[in-house]
């Protein structure tokens, strides 16, 4: 949590630099990239409701705007002043399998039943994969809830 609050404080200082004199120099955090896990500040009217929501960067629109995809599947344009990188720590195991560049088939429910769609994993932010499918479609899947097969290379 200490790293999170430090990052949040830094983001607040970065936002304040636009209201400060031009002589004030504040270090800017790393830019956002597609696939980065983030926390998005969402003010709440209820006392105990969470103020931050988890999401992933789906698109960098400009220096101050990013499109965030939430675990529920919807996407929303957010101001970068309300977005904080979610810090990830390395797994206990050094032998972590990376899915980027692997071909996969994902099972989807259709009107006719179920169909398998092939694609290529573009981003691996465990447990989420960003897949570009052979038919041109692309989106995130949760590997814990999706049915998929990794094709041999």
Write out pLDDT tens, residues 23-60.
544 444 567 888 888 889 887 777 777 788 889 999 98
Task: Say if residue 112 is in the same domain as residue 140.
Answer: yes
Largest CA distance in the chain: 64
- Domain boundary residue, one of 85, 112, 130: 85
pLDDT of residue 105: 92
Task: Say if residue 107 is in the same domain as residue 81.
Answer: no
Task: Say if residue 22 is in the same domain as residue 71.
Answer: yes
Residue 143 has pLDDT above 90, yes or no: no
Task: Say if residue 120 is in the same domain as residue 55.
Answer: no
Q: Is residue 54 part of a domain?
A: yes
Q: Is residue 60 part of a domain?
A: yes
CB atoms within 10 A of CB 7: 16
Tell which residue, 54, 12, 45, 44, has the closest CA to residue 29: 12
Q: Number of structural domains, the chain?
A: 2
pTM above 0.85, yes or no: no
Task: Say if residue 77 is in the same domain as residue 125.
Answer: no
Tell which residue, 81, 6, 92, has the closest CA to residue 42: 81
- The full DSSP string for 131-151 is EEETTS-EEEEETTTS-EEEP
- What is the tens place of the pLDDT at every residue in 7-16? 777 776 665 5
87-91 mean pLDDT: 57
Residue 36's domain is classified under what CATH number? 2.30.30.140
Q: Is residue 94 part of a domain?
A: no
Task: Say if residue 8 is in the same domain as residue 71.
Answer: yes
Integer CA distances (angstroms), 101 to 24, 78, 149, in order: 43, 29, 14
Sheet with 52-60, strands from edge to edge, namely 75-79, 65-69, 52-60, 37-41, 83-85
Q: Is residue 139 part of a domain?
A: yes
Residue 123's domain comprises 103-150
Q: Is residue 96 part of a domain?
A: no
């Amino acid at each position: 949590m200490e790293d999170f609050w430090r990052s949040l404080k830094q983001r607040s200082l970065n936002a304040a630099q636009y209201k400060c004199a031009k002589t004030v120099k504040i270090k800017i955090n790393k830019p956002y990239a597609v696939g980065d896990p983030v926390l998005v500040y969402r003010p709440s009217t209820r006392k105990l409701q969470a103020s931050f929501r988890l999401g992933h960067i789906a698109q960098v629109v400009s220096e101050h705007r990013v499109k965030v995809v939430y675990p529920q599947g919807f996407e929303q344009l957010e101001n970068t002043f309300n977005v904080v990188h979610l810090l990830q720590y390395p797994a206990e195991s050094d032998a972590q399998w990376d899915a980027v560049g692997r071909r996969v088939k994902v099972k989807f429910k259709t009107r006719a039943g179920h169909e398998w769609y092939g694609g290529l994993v573009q981003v691996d932010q465990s447990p989420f994969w960003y897949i570009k499918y052979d038919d041109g479609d692309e989106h995130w899947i949760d590997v814990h809830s999706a049915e998929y097969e990794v094709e041999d290379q």
